[in-house]
């Protein structure tokens, strides 16, 4: 037995340290859309575009005062995007439908984080700073965040926003689902609580789906037969009812497959118990041993 | 004795005009880095709410890691598969890999918003996150590279330790410590060589999985479930071209031994490896039917065509010709095409192919971003130059004499 071969056997035990990573790579299963999971139903046929929800959201999250006051109706037409300082915005859409006096009927669309059931942002986050809580809120913990912005790459709705101007302690900013409030008995998100026309209904997601179906059934002329968020990207906590096709209202056409499905399948497929890396290590080790011992035999001759 | 060539420090003056130019780039980059830490990312970059990643991720990290693949591919060739003939390229490739991987965390420190929290992944493990896996592999692999580099430093100082003044009394102790470390390390080095190759395969493919988290945003020409495999095979394929590229550059400014024969035989492997990558890429395109997008005429489809034709098929055809393989210039040109193809591929996957919903603008890097990236690349070349001048890495002219004695 030559020296290299002995070393090889002696130190083979050290290889056992490699699976250190194994437990991390296996990860946790995505949280179930449990019974206690809350959601919010937005009925676009009811919303009057008063922007009260924007104002309530601004206040409860202690966001800075916006340049235009909340009762300024003109901003509605600007197709505003979510901002680091605006966790929810309402935009006005005209789909071409007219009322009996030939006036265009506006549709107001509130946007915010969808609080996905299988959130891409949560699966992506390198340190687990984003978590989906059992109550349905996708929650951001700034104390863990490193600011890599992978969550912004991952989110299919382009929701998380970033404080680019802050040199040292920038945060990811997005709707919190008023996590502090809804965790209390009877607590409602600020936006849903303030809505004067009850366009926003907060409650258990399964109950909301029932309510939505019931509304469609009882007034089929008012609604199109689709609940946005029921299936999109594996289901979202926030659900929408509409009288107009969602495509005309700026909604994205997304598949029903959960976004993180492929990456998680690859990660867990390759790294459960580190089988793939260890196998590769073994195969390469074998190749190394063969070629080494071969060259040694020749030299020993 | 295995070593055929004897690497030596290159005896050439360090402060050449080229090195001064590198220094100028580094200073410019440093100025913008300073601005980033004063005014935030907004002050220096063109990143916005729909484009969270720019060239600091697309080039400095994703492309940098791919181009540092020469380190593990040469190690695998010479030390795992026992092709000791290629020994002379292992050290320079190891050095480039080590420098490349050292710059990755530096680039990340600049890019991530909370630089001071960069160590968080070490305690907050998140196994579902591809980024977590990549980060962990890169961190461990960088240390493996340092370990693989230690013998080179020790070789330089063994038998030559001469501590100043009263410390001179410790010369003997230091010398025997060095000897002990050297012997221990050489006994267990095979573990690190193997681990280096395995870790490289893991994170090279992992980089390909990164953008799979955004199926609705990445253009279908690049979004494929085999993207990790494509990243791995293209990284392996670009390893030797990088060696050829660096060697040709280094030997044009330093008095190095002519290794064109060795490069020619290396390029035969590249023809096969690049062929495998192209076969996978084309096969995937056929299976998924994405050729339908080829003639869209969009920025994406054009970028894809350039990447595939100029960066893949053209150099592959070049390498099939023995005449190209035997000529120093032909080899260098083919290597440049392949490297360009891989660079463009990484840029395409991370930046060009990324189409965010609600985006009102498109991303193009700012002057500051380009300056920082250029500064980091200059720093890499500067350090390469510095280390080959003082450590036994390259085989200079006249090393043949000592080589004969040894073999
Ligand atoms: S909408 Fe985006 S940010 Fe909100 S939970 Fe879903 S993936 Fe996360
Ligand atoms: S920016 Fe923060 S929250 Fe987003 S993925 Fe990175 S660490 Fe996680
Ligand atoms: S749930 Fe809370 S944070 Fe989210 S939009 Fe409503 S008020 Fe704002």
| Cα B269 from chain centre | 18
Strand order in the sheet with A238-241: A200-204, A38-43, A238-241
What are the E-state strand segments in B97-253?
none
> Residue B219 is encoded by which pair of tokens?
């253009």
For residue A255, count other CB atoms closer than 10 A to its CB. 13
Residue A148 CB neighbour total at 10 angstroms = 29
Per DSSP, chain A holds a count of helices (H) and strands (E) of 10, 9
Q: What percent of chain A has pLDDT over 70?
A: 85
What are A112-159's pLDDT values in tens digits? 999 999 999 999 999 999 999 999 999 999 999 999 999 999 999 999
Nearest-10 crossing angle of helices A3-11, B171-210: 60
Calculate the alpha carbon distances from B266 to A134, B78, B257, B270, B275 in Å: 56, 11, 16, 7, 14
Q: Is the pLDDT of residue B185 over 90?
A: no
Pseudo-torsion of CA A229, A231, A237, A241, nearest 10°?
A: 30
- Domains (range + CATH), chain B: 2-394 (1.20.1630.10)
Q: Sign of the CA dihedral B313, B319, B322, B325? A: positive
The reply to whether residue A165 touches residue B47, judged by beta carbons under 8 angstroms, is no
pLDDT score at A74: 84
Distances A7 to A283, B155, B198 between C-alpha atoms, Å: 17, 22, 20
The rounded Cα A80 to chain-centroid distance in angstroms is: 20
Residue A12 pLDDT exceeds 50: no
Q: From CA A271, how far away is CA A278, in angstroms rounded?
A: 10
Per-residue confidence band for A15, with pLDDT thresholds at 50, 70 and 90: very low
Question: Which residue has tokens 């300024």?
Answer: A72
pLDDT value at B208 more than 90 = yes
Ligand 1 atom closest to A160 (CA)? 3
For B313-332, write each residue's pLDDT tens digit: 999 999 999 999 989 999 99
Q: Name the band, by pLDDT with cuts 50, 70 and 90, for residue A8.
A: very low
Report DSSP state, residue B6: -
pLDDT greater than 90 at residue A63 = yes
The answer for A 231-260 residues in CB contact with B (under 8 A) is 252, 254-255, 257, 259-260
The average pLDDT across B208-213 equals 95
Looking at residue A141, what DSSP letter applies?
A: -
pLDDT value at A77 more than 60: yes
Question: CB distance from A18 to chain B under 8 Å?
Answer: yes
Highest-confidence range of A3-7, A74-78, A160-164, B251-255, by mean pLDDT?
A160-164
Question: What are the tens digits of pLDDT across the range B108-133?
Answer: 999 999 999 999 999 999 989 999 99
What would the mean pLDDT of B161-170 be, rounded to a whole number?
Answer: 78
From B231's Cα to the closest Cα of chain A, the distance in A is: 14
SS3 A108: strand
What is the helix (H) or strand (E) element at residue A200, kind and residue range?
strand A200-204
The whole-angstrom separation of Cα B229 and Cα A176 is: 37
Residue reference for tokens 């920038």: A170
Ranges B81-90, B181-190, B200-209, most confident: B200-209
pLDDT at position B30 is: 97
Q: Provide mean pLDDT across the span B208-224.
A: 95
pLDDT of amino acid B5: 58
Assign domain A38-258 one CATH number from 3.40.1280.10, 3.30.70.20, 3.30.300.30, 3.30.565.10: 3.30.70.20
User: Which chain A residues contact residue B195 at CB under 8 A?
Assistant: 18, 281
| 3 state DSSP class of B139 | helix
Please tell me the number of the ligand nearest to residue A140's CA: 2
Tell me the pLDDT tens digit for each residue of A282-294.
999 999 888 875 4
Q: Is the pLDDT of residue A14 over 50?
A: no
CB atoms within 10 A of CB A93: 17
Instruction: Give the pLDDT mean for B133-139.
Output: 92
* Interface residue B34 vs chain A (CB under 8 A): no
Please say if the pLDDT value at position A28 is more than 80.
no
């Amino acid at each position: 037995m030559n020296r290299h071969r002995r070393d090889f056997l002696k130190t083979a035990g050290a290889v056992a340290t490699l699976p250190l990573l194994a437990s991390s790579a296996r990860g946790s299963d995505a949280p179930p859309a449990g019974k206690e999971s809350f959601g919010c139903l937005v009925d676009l046929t009811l919303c009057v575009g008063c922007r009260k929800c924007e104002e309530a959201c601004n206040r409860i999250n202690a966001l800075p005062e916006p340049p235009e006051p909340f009762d300024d109706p003109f901003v509605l037409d600007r197709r505003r995007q979510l901002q680091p300082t605006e966790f929810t915005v309402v935009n006005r859409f005209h789909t071409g439908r007219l009322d009996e006096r030939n006036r265009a009927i506006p549709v107001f669309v509130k946007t915010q984080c969808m609080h996905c059931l299988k959130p891409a942002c949560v699966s992506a986050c390198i340190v687990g700073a984003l978590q989906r809580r059992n109550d349905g809120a996708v929650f951001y913990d700034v104390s863990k965040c490193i600011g890599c912005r992978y969550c912004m790459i991952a989110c299919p709705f382009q929701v998380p926003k970033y404080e680019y101007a802050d040199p040292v302690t920038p945060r990811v900013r997005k709707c919190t689902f008023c996590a502090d409030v809804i965790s209390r008995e009877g607590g409602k998100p600020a936006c849903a609580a303030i809505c004067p026309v009850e366009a926003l209904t907060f409650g258990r997601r399964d109950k909301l789906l029932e309510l939505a179906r019931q509304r469609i059934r009882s007034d089929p002329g008012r609604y199109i037969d689709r609940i946005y968020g029921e299936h999109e990207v594996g289901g979202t906590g926030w659900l929408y009812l509409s009288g107009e096709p969602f495509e005309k209202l700026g909604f994205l056409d997304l598949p029903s497959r959960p976004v993180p499905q492929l990456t998680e399948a690859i990660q867990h497929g390759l790294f459960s118990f580190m089988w793939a890396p260890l196998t590769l290590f073994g195969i390469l080790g074998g190749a190394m041993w063969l070629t080494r011992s071969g060259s040694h035999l020749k030299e020993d001759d | 004795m295995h070593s055929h060539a004897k690497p030596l420090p290159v005896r050439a003056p360090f402060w050449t005009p080229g090195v001064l130019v590198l220094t100028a780039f580094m200073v410019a980059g440093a100025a913008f880095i300073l601005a980033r830490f004063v005014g935030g990312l907004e002050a220096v970059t063109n990143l916005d709410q729909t484009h969270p990643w720019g060239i600091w991720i697309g080039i400095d990290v994703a492309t940098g890691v791919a181009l540092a693949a020469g380190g593990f591919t040469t190690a695998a060739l010479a030390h795992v598969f026992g092709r000791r003939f290629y020994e002379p390229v292992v050290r320079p490739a190891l050095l480039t890999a080590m420098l490349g991987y050292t710059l990755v965390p530096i680039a990340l420190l600049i890019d991530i918003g909370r630089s001071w929290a960069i160590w968080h992944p070490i305690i907050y493990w998140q196994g579902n996150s591809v980024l977590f896996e990549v980060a962990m592999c890169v961190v461990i692999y960088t240390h493996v590279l340092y370990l693989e580099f230690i013998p080179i430093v020790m070789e330089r100082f063994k038998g030559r330790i001469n501590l100043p003044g009263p410390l001179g009394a410790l010369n003997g102790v230091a010398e025997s410590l060095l000897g002990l470390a050297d012997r221990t390390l050489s006994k267990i080095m095979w573990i690190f060589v193997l681990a280096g190759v395995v870790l490289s395969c893991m994170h090279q493919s992992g980089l390909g999985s990164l953008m799979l988290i955004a199926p609705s945003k990445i253009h279908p020409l690049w979004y494929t479930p085999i993207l990790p495999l494509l990243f791995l095979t293209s990284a392996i394929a670009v390893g030797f071209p990088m060696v050829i590229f660096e060697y040709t550059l280094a030997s044009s400014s330093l008095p190095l031994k002519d290794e064109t024969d060795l490069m020619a035989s290396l390029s035969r492997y590249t023809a096969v490896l690049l062929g495998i990558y192209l076969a996978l890429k084309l096969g995937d395109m056929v299976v998924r039917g994405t050729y339908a997008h080829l003639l869209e005429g969009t920025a994406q489809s054009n970028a894809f065509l350039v990447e595939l034709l100029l960066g893949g098929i053209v150099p592959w055809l070049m390498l099939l010709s023995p005449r190209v393989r035997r000529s120093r210039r032909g080899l260098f040109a083919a290597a440049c095409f392949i490297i360009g193809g891989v660079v463009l591929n990484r840029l395409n996957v991370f930046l060009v192919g990324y189409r965010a919903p609600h985006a009102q603008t498109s991303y193009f890097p700012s002057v500051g971003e380009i300056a920082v990236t250029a500064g980091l690349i200059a720093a890499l070349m500067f350090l390469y130059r510095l280390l080959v001048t003082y450590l036994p890495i390259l085989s200079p002219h006249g090393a043949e004499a000592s080589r004969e004695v040894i073999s």
